[in-house]
């Protein structure tokens, strides 16, 4: 019998396992054969650990953004940088406040996390395919497809979202929430490209610094200045990725389901690009017929890139369902941490920071060593 069973060996599950008391019996169950795939993938495998400059209201989306204030007061971006550096890994700050490993190798951080988790007495079982979870007499029983059963007094769901499912995240946490009657905000795609009605393939490959503004009719939903890329099928780059979460949040507030998204986009959502002197290259000028009197163009959003391309999932377990250590208010000893929560960040290290912090706070909730 384990004191703590964690499902999912990603950033959140891992940080929880190394923050929980050493004397508690802990195990992580992971369905993949390798660990922490998204930590490895982060920022082209250079690992964007966190961001140096976090303004919760600007950098996160979800029903309860205030929660990020209290979360960061318990484990901040600076705490994470200190933790990493204390263990001998040097970080540096790049554009947009991204904190990156100086070595440029995310595997360095992953190795450290595994070492510290193991040192803290955590067992790890990979290739564990869960067929069923039940709770009887205050004990959780996690059934594997090999017939084995892992029993625990506390169960922590750290299974991520449902985007980028090629690395193992398929929305499992939402299924568990449903099984136990815990409410979720419908998941939506975040941090992916946009497809426009207009054919912009002639500009494919052009990276520019400009201002993107997103509208529903006349209502401004989002605007940001930054790096932007025209692709064969539409728009990409950090400011586009962020705008995708903003439009997802907007549709969530309007109660529009995913199946209705596409037609809503086509009828209502427009994207305005405002060019400055530098971004008005010869190619752009002639493509859009821009001149001294015209530096803006407007497109129509027809769709978002696929779930497989989305780097995060918006929506998820409602924070109002959880205590301040992420335990379910309805089901005692059941916890949810990381991307599975309705607390999603922009691109720039905000999502990993959420995963470290929720993992830490949950782990510490079991007591100090
Ligand atoms: C390509 C890419 C680049 C990214 N770059 C950045 C970046 O630069 N900065 C940043 O902040 N964020 C980045 N992100 C987002 C960030 O990686 C995630 O938000 C973060 O890793 C979420 O951590 P998590 O522990 O909640 O979930 P995950 O890291 O998704 O881990 C969940 C784990 O649970 C396992 N699992 C799922 N279902 C089951 C099951 N049924 N049984 C057992 N195990 C299960 C999965 O296999 C996975 O290992 C990136 C994401 C992607 C895809």
> Does the C-beta of 100 come closer than 6 Å to ligand 1?
no
> Does the C-beta of 238 come closer than 6 Å to ligand 1?
no
Q: State the pLDDT at residue 278.
A: 84
d(CA 141, CA 1): 10
| Residues 2 and 13 sit within 8 Å (Cβ to Cβ) | no
Q: Block means of pLDDT (10 residues each) for the chain, length 369 residues?
A: 96 97 97 81 82 95 93 97 97 94 92 96 96 96 96 98 89 97 96 94 90 97 94 92 96 91 95 90 89 91 95 96 98 98 96 97 93
- Which tens digits make up the pLDDT trace of 295-312? 999 999 999 999 999 999
Q: State the pLDDT at residue 258.
A: 84
> Residue 59 is inside which H or E element, if any?
helix 56-59
Which domains are delineated in the chain?
A: 2-188+311-364 (3.50.50.60), 193-304 (no CATH)
User: Which residue among 6, 10, 61, 340 is best mutated to probe the pocket of ligand 1, counting the most ligand atoms within 8 A of its Cβ?
Assistant: 10
Q: State the pLDDT at residue 45.
A: 78
| Residues 185 and 318 sit within 8 Å (Cβ to Cβ) | yes
> Does the C-beta of 310 come closer than 6 Å to ligand 1?
no
Q: Using the atom order of ligand 1, give the atom closest to the CA of residue 47.
A: 8
Tell me which residue has its CA closest to atom 41 in ligand 1.
172
What is the full DSSP assignment across 239-268? HHHHHHHHHHHHHHHHT--HHHHHHHHHHH
User: Which residue among 109, 160, 313, 344 is best mutated to probe the pocket of ligand 1, counting the most ligand atoms within 8 A of its Cβ?
Assistant: 160
Q: Using the atom order of ligand 1, give the atom closest to the CA of residue 358.
A: 26
| Residues 67 and 326 sit within 8 Å (Cβ to Cβ) | no
> Does the C-beta of 9 come closer than 6 Å to ligand 1?
yes
Whole-model pTM: value is 0.95
d(CA 314, CA 318): 11
Structure tokens at 40: 């490895």
> Does the C-beta of 158 come closer than 6 Å to ligand 1?
yes
Q: State the pLDDT at residue 161.
A: 96
> Does the C-beta of 174 come closer than 6 Å to ligand 1?
no
Ligand 1 center from residue 122 Cα (angstroms):
20
- If one counts every other C-beta atom within 10 angstroms of the C-beta of residue 103, the result is 15
Q: What are φ and ψ of residue 342, in 5° steps?
A: -80, 70
Q: State the pLDDT at residue 82.
A: 98
Q: Using the atom order of ligand 1, give the atom closest to the CA of residue 129.
A: 42
């Amino acid at each position: 019998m384990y004191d703590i069973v964690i499902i999912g060996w990603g950033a959140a599950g891992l940080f929880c396992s190394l923050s929980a008391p050493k004397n508690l019996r802990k195990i992580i169950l992971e369905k993949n054969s390798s660990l922490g795939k998204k930590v490895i993938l982060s920022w082209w495998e250079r690992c964007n650990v966190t961001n140096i400059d976090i303004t919760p209201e600007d950098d996160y989306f979800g029903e309860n953004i205030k929660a990020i204030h209290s979360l960061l007061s318990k484990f901040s971006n600076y705490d994470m940088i200190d933790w990493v550096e204390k263990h001998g890994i040097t970080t540096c700050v790049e554009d947009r406040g991204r904190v990156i490993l100086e070595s440029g190798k995310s595997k360095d951080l992953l190795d450290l996390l595994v070492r510290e988790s193991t040192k803290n007495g955590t067992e790890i079982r990979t290739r564990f395919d869960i067929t069923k979870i039940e709770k009887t007499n205050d004990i959780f029983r996690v059934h594997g497809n090999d017939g084995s059963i892992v029993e625990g007094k506390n169960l922590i769901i750290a299974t991520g979202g449902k985007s980028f499912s090629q690395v193992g995240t398929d929305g499992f946490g939402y299924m568990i929430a449903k099984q136990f009657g815990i409410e979720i905000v419908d998941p939506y795609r975040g941090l992916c490209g946009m497809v426009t009605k207009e054919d912009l393939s002639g500009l494919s490959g052009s990276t520019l610094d400009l201002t993107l503004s997103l509208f529903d009719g006349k209502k401004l939903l989002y605007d940001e200045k930054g790096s932007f890329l025209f692709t064969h099928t539409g728009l990409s780059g950090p400011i586009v990725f962020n705008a995708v979460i903003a439009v997802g949040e907007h549709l969530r507030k309007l109660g529009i389901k995913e199946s209705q998204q596409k037609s809503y986009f086509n009828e209502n959502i427009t994207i305005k690009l405002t060019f400055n002197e530098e971004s008005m290259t010869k190619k752009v000028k002639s493509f859009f017929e821009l001149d001294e009197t015209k530096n803006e163009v407007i497109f129509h959003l027809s769709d978002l890139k696929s779930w497989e391309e989305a780097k995060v999932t918006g929506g998820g377990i409602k924070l109002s369902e959880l205590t301040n250590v992420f335990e379910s208010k309805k089901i005692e000893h059941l916890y949810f941490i990381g991307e599975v929560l309705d607390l999603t960040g922009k691109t720039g290290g905000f999502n990993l920071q959420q995963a470290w912090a929720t993992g830490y706070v949950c782990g510490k909730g079991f007591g100090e060593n």
